[in-house]
């Protein structure tokens, strides 16, 4: 057979493409698990849009705050990074007024307010910029209840979401977190994360599925109020209609779901 | 042929590299994988209940795909309950369902994975059950 | 034509092996980073993008600048650029390769990179960035290789190349606009939230890219027999001049908006970069270096007599390139993260592994450039006369 190099390469290339295409076509036709075999948990808590109200008047002692933070970080195996503050990972933490609500700095603000430690977490915005920028939809807004979720298996660690979040709510695993998790206090029912992915508060979606309130809400003993913003009879709506509330940087159009009251 | 010497030598080296796994493992005994399902949790169940969520043949072939699909259903769609072919309901969770019965990762999961030389990265995040002394 | 890259003198091979050794060391550093995670770099929870993304941003500009030689030649028949277009296209290829490598080394889970294709997200600017960069790479490879191959055979290039060339002219500004959009649409990062971000990017790209091309053309003329053309280099000099002035003007516009409005969010990053914020001032020296180099370049470039002196033009080009490299490849990215969303300052400086990996990626880019230029130069030395009948080879 008289064939030159160019012809040979053309034939080889086309055969490879056909071969690969055929294999993937056959694979996709294989029996899949039927979608009818899936159903939601019967005891799950549901809502159209989850929201939280942080009632600063109910927090009295340092211990009140730390209880909530410890509950969250323990239930989710959040590592406590000790060797480099730059690699810190936090889902729920405290911040002073002028740093949490930037743009409101005022030297004549009352000392009491200046020193009040506001609890900060992901705001689970209704219009989240982090979801808008994620190139793989690893972070996405759950259609059922508005929680801004993290799919740890899909995250490629590009950290675009960290640049996009105007609230500094996200942390990145700059190294393996496992050495920094206290083994004695590990929650064996929840995974850890691995190096190279972004993490943040996910509103305890796994607890909501079992009919439980978020860990921080339960530990707060009433200082954190949790409910459905779109249910006019929910506790959060009742509070918001009777008290003055404010959110972090609302002018950015993100429509955060975490409200603060004094 | 042109450059015949270089081509023949190159071919010999190529064939040698490609068949390396074959002649490197010659003579080494390989034990057939024997995943053990005699964990204390399984033995606690009455014999008729000692069934996985699907048949052994199905799980052997499809557990990789099943776990992937479970993950997407739980994390992305918010659905947590799986109804097996037999109609039984299970919570979809590697750590809290699968490993509750198969609590011996080294003698179960690793048996076949080591034999096939695959390293699934489940355990980078999912906490493996603590190995018991037995 | 690839075989032309494996025949060279001793100087060529010394350069190639130097690049290979830099790549080797950087590769080992990357293995270290792959094992331990991105914590080996200087990045932090607050400054989550650093040198890698900065270099990527700068190099997309260099890649886009290929259009500055392709457009006048193919769209307006500017004959003087006839010999330099292939150098511009090959520079674009090397730059895009570096861009993609910088993205790859910056990722926390690089093995999952295909997720961007498997789960397309048109809402994300990064998705489009991946598309336009890949498209631009393929366009330039196809066009550059085909046109050079045709010249080698003393034949006109095939007709289908023309529409692809026109496509690449439109595509080039788009790659840099999309990159600017990565920054310009993020609420809460006021340093980047500016409508003229894409315009600034393009202006600095069209100043920095041609500046590098001038230096490369002068090197090619000195070490090979191929002469890209004195007038071509002079035209590039004019392009660098105008674009550098526009770029500095745009920077001035940003300064005005920030400081006349006196809004802290807009001013803070500039204050950090140029004077230091709350005692933190790590970047101040290099930002001022960038400004001084820019002024030196502008002064040298405005006078035609100085521009006509190729030695001084080279000096001005080096000054432009380094100034823009600092400004866009470092200051822009780090400045956006300082101060953080809580108005606190966490500083950033690259670590040794980070620097070694960066140098390795640059070395890979220069290796690609060297190989491609070797092929182009060898072809042109053989052909001697370009399509207008002029000699493109220096006669001793």
Residues C102-120 pLDDT 10s = 999 999 999 999 999 999 9
Displacement of CA C119 from its chain's centroid (Å): 29
Domain count, chain B: 1
- The mean pLDDT value for C211-240 works out to 94
Distance (Å, rounded) from C-alpha A250 to C-alpha A243? 18
Q: For chain C, how many residues are written?
A: 396
For residue B82, give its domain range: 36-125
Measured in degrees and rounded to the nearest 5, phi and psi for residue C118 equal -70, -30
Q: In what order do the strands lie in the sheet with A258-261?
A: A224-228, A50-55, A258-261
A179 touches chain B (CB under 8 A): no
Length of chain B: 134
**Closest Cα in chain A, distance from residue B96 (Å):** 6
Rounded to whole angstroms, the Cα distance separating C298 from C313 reads 11
Q: Which helix (H) or strand (E) holds B16?
A: helix B4-18
Residue B101 makes CB contacts below 8 A (sequence gap 6+) with B39, B41, B42, B45, B52
Helices (H), A54-105: 62-75, 97-100
User: Which domain range does residue C336 map to?
Assistant: 193-203+239-350
Longest dimension (CA), chain A: 93
C-alpha distance from A84 to closest chain C C-alpha (Å): 9
Lowest-pLDDT choice from A26-35, B94-103, C60-69? A26-35
| B124 chain-A contacts, CB cut-off 8 A | 194
* Minimum distance, in Å, between the CA of residue B124 and any CA atom of chain A: 6
Interface check for A46 against chain B (CB to CB < 8 A): the answer is: no
Whether A158 and C344 lie within 8 Å, measured CB to CB: no
Whether residue A227 contacts residue A239, with contact meaning beta carbons closer than 8 Å, is answered with no
Mark yes or no for CB contact B125/A186 under 8 Å. Answer: no
Task: Name which CATH class applies to A50-127+176-190+199-261.
Answer: alpha beta
* Closest by Cα among C83, C317, C327, C105 to C204: C327
Q: Is a pLDDT exceeding 80 seen at residue A32?
A: no
Alpha helices for chain C (secondary structure H): 10-36, 51-64, 67-70, 76, 85-106, 115-118, 125-152, 161-184, 197-223, 230-261, 264-274, 284-302, 304-308, 310-326, 332-337, 352-383
Given an 8 Å threshold on Cβ–Cβ distance, is C46 in contact with A158? Answer: no
Q: Is residue C210 part of a domain?
A: no
Token pair recorded at residue C107: 């990722």
pLDDT in tens, A41-57: 888 999 999 999 999 99
Per-residue pLDDT of A134-157, as tens digits, reads: 999 999 999 888 999 999 999 999
In a domain, B98, yes or no: yes
| Residue spans per domain, chain A | 5-37, 50-127+176-190+199-261
Residues 211-250 of C with CB under 8 A from A: none
What does the buried/exposed string (b/e) look like for C339-348 if buried means 16 or more CB atoms within 10 Å of the residue's CB?
Answer: bbbbbbbbbb
Contacts of A150 in chain C (CB under 8 A): none
Closest CA to A116 of A103, A97, A102, A93: A97
Cβ-count burial of C97 within 10 angstroms (0-12 exposed, 13-18 middle, 19+ buried)? buried
Task: Clarify whether residues C130 and C270 are in a common domain.
Answer: no
The answer to whether residue B30 scores a pLDDT higher than 80 is no
Residues of B with CB under 8 A from a CB of A: 62, 65-66, 69, 71, 73, 75-85, 91, 95-96, 121, 124-127, 129
Q: Specify the residue for token string 């695959």.
A: B118
The answer to the question of residue B31 being in a domain is no
Question: How far apart are the CA of C346 and the nearest CA of chain A, in angstroms?
Answer: 8
C 40-59 residues inside an 8 A Cβ radius of A: 42-46, 48-49
Q: CA C217, C221, C222, C226: dihedral to nearest 10 degrees?
A: 140
Mean residue pLDDT of chain B comes to: 87
8 Å CB contact of B82 and A190:
no
Query: Cis omega (within 30 of 0) on the bond before C339?
Result: yes
Give strand pairing partners of A182: none
Quick: pLDDT tens for C324-366: 999 999 999 999 999 999 999 999 999 999 999 999 999 999 9
d(CA B42, CA C88) in angstroms, rounded, equals 69
Is any Cβ of chain A less than 8 angstroms from the Cβ of C32?
no
Spatial contact of A171 and C45, defined as CB atoms under 8 Å apart: yes
With CA atoms as reference, report the closest residue to A259 among A250, A130, A251.
A250
Residues 6+ apart with CB under 8 A from C380: C83, C151, C226, C386, C392, C393
Whole-angstrom distance, CA of residue C352 vs CA of residue B97: 45
Q: Are residues C133 and C197 in the same domain?
A: no
Q: How many CB atoms lie within 10 A of CB C352?
A: 11
| DSSP assignment letter at A37 | G
Mean pLDDT of C367-384: 91
Do C300 and C357 fall into the same domain?
A: no
Q: What is the DSSP letter of C158?
A: P
Give the alpha-carbon dihedral of A218, A220, A222, A224, to 10 degrees. Answer: -90
The DSSP bridge pattern shows strands B81-83 and A38-39 to be antiparallel
Distance from CA of A35 to the nearest CA of B (A): 10
Backbone angles phi, psi at B67, to 5 degrees: -65, -40
pLDDT of the residue at A34: 58
Cβ–Cβ gap A38/B73 under 8 Å: yes
Are C86 and C103 in a shared domain? yes
In this structure, what token pair is assigned to residue C44? 């932090």
Query: Is the ipTM beyond the 0.90 threshold?
Result: yes
Whether B117 shows a pLDDT value over 70: the answer reads: yes
Q: Give pLDDT, residue A35.
A: 54
Instruction: Say which residue, A151 or A37, is predicted with more confidence.
Output: A151
Examine the domain organization and report whether C99 and C58 are in the same domain.
yes
The DSSP code sequence of C106-152 is: H-SSGGGTTHHHHS--TT-HHHHHHHHHHHHHHHHHHHHHHHHHHHH
Chain A residues whose CB is inside 8 A of the C126 CB are 133, 135, 158, 160
- Mean pLDDT for all residues in chain A: 92
Q: Using CB atoms, which residue from A156, A198, A252 is nearest to C187?
A: A252
Residue B28 falls inside a structural domain: no
Quote the DSSP letter at residue B2.
T
Task: Give me the phi and psi of A4, to 5 degrees please.
Answer: -95, 175
CB atoms under 10 Å from CB of C391, counted, come to 10
Angle at A214 between CA A96 and CA A147, to 5 degrees: 85
Point out the residue among A102, A163, A253 whose CB comes nearest to the CB of C49.
Answer: A163
* Chains near C (3 or more Cβ pairs under 8 Å): A
- Does residue C228 lie within any of the structural domains? no
Q: Is residue B21 part of a domain?
A: no
CB–CB contacts below 8 A, A to C? 147
Q: Is the pLDDT reported for residue C217 higher than 50?
A: yes
Q: Span A165-190, mean pLDDT?
A: 94
Using CA atoms, how far apart are residues B59 and B55, in angstroms rounded to an integer?
Answer: 6
Indicate yes or no: CB of A41 within 8 angstroms of CB of B91: yes
C68 and C143 share a domain? Answer: yes
CB-based contact C127 A135, cutoff 8 Å: yes
Give the CA count within 13 Å in the CB-facing half-sphere of A40: 14
Shortest CA distance to C64 belongs to which of C243, C189, C292? C243
- Residue numbers in A near B127 (CB within 8 A): 77, 186, 188, 190-192
The SS3 of residue C72 is helix
What is the pLDDT, as a whole number, of residue A33?
54
Q: Are residues C320 and C364 in the same domain?
A: no
- Determine whether the interchain pair B78/A205 forms a contact, defined as Cβ–Cβ distance below 8 Å: yes
Q: Which residues of chain A lie closer than 8 angstroms to C180, CB-CB? A: none
Rounded Cα–Cα distance for residues C207 and C219 (Å): 19
**Mean predicted confidence (pLDDT) in C280-306:** 96
Look up residue C277 and give its DSSP letter.
B
- C303, part of any domain: yes
Reduced to 3 states (helix: H, G, I; strand: E, B; else coil), residue A218 is helix
Tell me the mean pLDDT in the region C291-303.
96
Closest by alpha carbon to C283, among C334, C359, C323, C358? C334
- Given a cut of 60, whether residue B134 has pLDDT beyond it is no
pLDDT for the residue A31: 53
What is the CATH number for C16?
A: 1.20.1630
Residue A145 sits at the chain B interface (C-beta within 8 Å):
yes
Residues of A in contact with C114 (CB under 8 A): none
Mean pLDDT across C264-278: 94
pLDDT band at C384 (very low <50, low <70, confident <90, very high): confident
Residue B93 lies in a domain: yes
What are the structure tokens assigned to C93, written together? 């290829």
Asked if the model's pLDDT at residue C296 lies above 80, the reply is yes
Please check whether residue C392 lies inside any domain of the structure. Answer: no
Least confident of B79-83, B104-108, B109-113, B130-134: B130-134
Q: Tell if the CB–CB gap between A157 and C38 is shorter than 8 Å.
A: yes
Give the best residue of A101, A123, A136 to mutate against chain C (max C CB count within 10 A).
Answer: A136
Min Cα distance A56 → chain B (Å) is 32
Taking the CA of residue C47 as centre, how many other CA atoms within 13 Å lie in the half-sphere pointing to its CB?
Answer: 28
Cα gap A157→C107, rounded to integer Å: 5
Question: Which range has the worst mean pLDDT, A60-64, C235-239, C359-363?
Answer: A60-64
Task: Say yes or no: C28 and C104 in one domain.
Answer: yes
How far is the CA of C189 from the CAs of A168, A169, B85, in angstroms? 11, 14, 52
| CB nearest to C119's CB, from A86, A137, A172 | A137
Total tally of structural domains belonging to chain C: 2
pLDDT at position B28 is 73
What stretch of H or E contains B82?
strand B81-83
- Could you tell me if C87 and C153 lie in one domain? yes
- Select from A38, A142, A192 the Cβ nearest to the Cβ of B127: A192
- In this structure, the dihedral spanned by the alpha carbons of residues C325, C330, C335 and C340, taken in order and rounded to 10 degrees, is 160
Select the residue of A129, A156, A249 nearest C108 (Cβ to Cβ): A156
Are the beta carbons of A159 and C49 closer than 8 angstroms? yes
């Amino acid at each position: 057979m008289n064939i030159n190099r160019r012809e040979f390469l053309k034939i080889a290339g086309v055969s490879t493409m056909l071969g690969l295409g055929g294999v993937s076509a056959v694979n996709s036709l294989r029996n899949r698990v039927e979608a009818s075999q899936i159903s939601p948990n019967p005891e799950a808590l549901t809502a159209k849009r989850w929201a939280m109200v942080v009632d600063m008047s109910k927090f009295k002692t340092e211990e009140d705050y730390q209880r909530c933070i410890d509950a969250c970080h323990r239930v989710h195996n959040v590592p406590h990074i000790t060797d480099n503050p730059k690699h810190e990972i936090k889902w729920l933490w405290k911040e002073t007024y002028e740093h949490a609500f930037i743009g409101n700095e005022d030297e004549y603000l009352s000392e009491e307010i200046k020193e009040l430690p506001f609890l900060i977490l992901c705001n689970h915005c209704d219009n989240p910029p982090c979801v808008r920028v994620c190139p793989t939809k690893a972070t996405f807004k759950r259609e059922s209840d508005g929680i801004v979720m993290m799919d740890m298996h899909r995250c490629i660690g590009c950290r675009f979401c960290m640049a996009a979040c105007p609230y500094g709510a996200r942390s990145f695993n700059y190294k393996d977190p496992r050495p920094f998790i206290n083994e004695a206090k590990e929650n064996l029912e929840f995974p850890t994360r691995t190096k190279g992915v972004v993490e943040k508060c996910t509103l305890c979606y796994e607890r909501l599925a079992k009919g439980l309130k978020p860990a921080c809400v339960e530990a707060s003993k009433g200082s954190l109020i949790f409910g459905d913003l779109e249910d006019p009879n929910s506790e959060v709506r009742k509070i918001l209609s009777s008290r003055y509330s404010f959110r972090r940087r609302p002018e950015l159009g993100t429509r955060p779901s975490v409200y603060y009251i004094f | 042929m042109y450059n015949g010497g270089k081509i023949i030598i190159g071919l010999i080296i190529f064939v040698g590299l490609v068949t390396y796994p074959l002649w490197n493992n010659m003579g080494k005994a390989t034990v057939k994988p024997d995943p053990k399902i005699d964990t204390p949790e399984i033995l606690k169940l009455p014999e008729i209940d000692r069934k996985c969520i699907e048949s052994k043949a199905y799980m052997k072939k499809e557990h990789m795909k099943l776990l992937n699909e479970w993950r997407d259903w739980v994390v992305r769609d918010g659905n947590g309950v799986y109804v097996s072919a037999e109609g039984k309901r299970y919570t979809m969770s590697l750590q809290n369902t699968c490993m509750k019965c198969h609590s011996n990762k080294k003698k179960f999961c690793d048996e076949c994975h080591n034999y096939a030389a695959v390293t699934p990265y489940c355990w980078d995040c999912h906490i493996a059950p603590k190995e018991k002394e037995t | 034509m690839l075989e032309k890259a494996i025949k060279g003198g001793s100087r060529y091979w010394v350069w190639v092996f130097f690049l290979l050794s830099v790549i080797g060391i950087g590769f080992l550093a990357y293995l270290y980073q792959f094992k331990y995670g991105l914590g080996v770099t200087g990045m932090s929870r607050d400054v989550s993008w650093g040198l890698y993304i900065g270099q990527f941003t700068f190099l997309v500009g260099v890649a886009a600048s290929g259009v500055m030689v392709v457009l006048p030649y193919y769209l307006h028949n500017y004959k003087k650029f006839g010999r330099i277009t292939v150098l511009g296209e090959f520079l674009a290829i090397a730059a895009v390769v570096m861009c993609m490598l910088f993205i790859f080394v910056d990722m926390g889970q690089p093995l999952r990179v295909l997720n961007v294709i498997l789960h397309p997200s048109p809402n994300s600017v990064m998705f489009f960035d991946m598309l336009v960069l890949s498209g631009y790479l393929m366009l330039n490879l196809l066009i550059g290789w085909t046109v050079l191959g045709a010249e080698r055979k003393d034949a006109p290039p095939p007709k289908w190349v023309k529409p692809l060339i026109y496509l690449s002219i439109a595509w080039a500004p788009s790659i840099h606009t999309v990159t600017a959009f990565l920054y310009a649409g993020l609420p809460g990062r006021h340093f980047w939230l500016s409508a003229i971000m894409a315009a600034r990017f393009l202006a600095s790209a069209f100043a920095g890219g041609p500046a590098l091309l001038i230096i490369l053309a002068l090197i090619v003329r000195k070490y090979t027999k191929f002469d890209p053309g004195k007038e071509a280099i002079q035209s590039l000099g004019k392009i660098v001049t105008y674009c550098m002035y526009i770029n500095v003007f745009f920077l001035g516009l940003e300064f005005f908006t920030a400081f006349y409005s006196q809004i802290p969010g807009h001013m803070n990053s500039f204050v950090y970069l140029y004077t230091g914020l709350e005692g933190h001032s790590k970047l101040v020296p290099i930002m001022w270096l960038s400004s001084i180099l820019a002024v030196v370049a502008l002064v040298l470039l405005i006078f035609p007599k100085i521009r006509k002196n190729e030695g001084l033009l080279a000096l001005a080009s080096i000054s432009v390139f380094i100034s823009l490299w600092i400004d866009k490849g470092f200051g822009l990215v780090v400045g956006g993260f300082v101060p953080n969303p809580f108005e606190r300052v966490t500083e950033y400086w690259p670590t040794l592994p980070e620097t070694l990996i960066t140098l390795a990626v640059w070395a890979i880019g220069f290796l690609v450039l060297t190989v491609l230029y070797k092929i182009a130069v060898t072809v042109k030395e053989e052909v001697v006369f370009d399509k207008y009948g002029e000699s493109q080879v220096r006669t001793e």
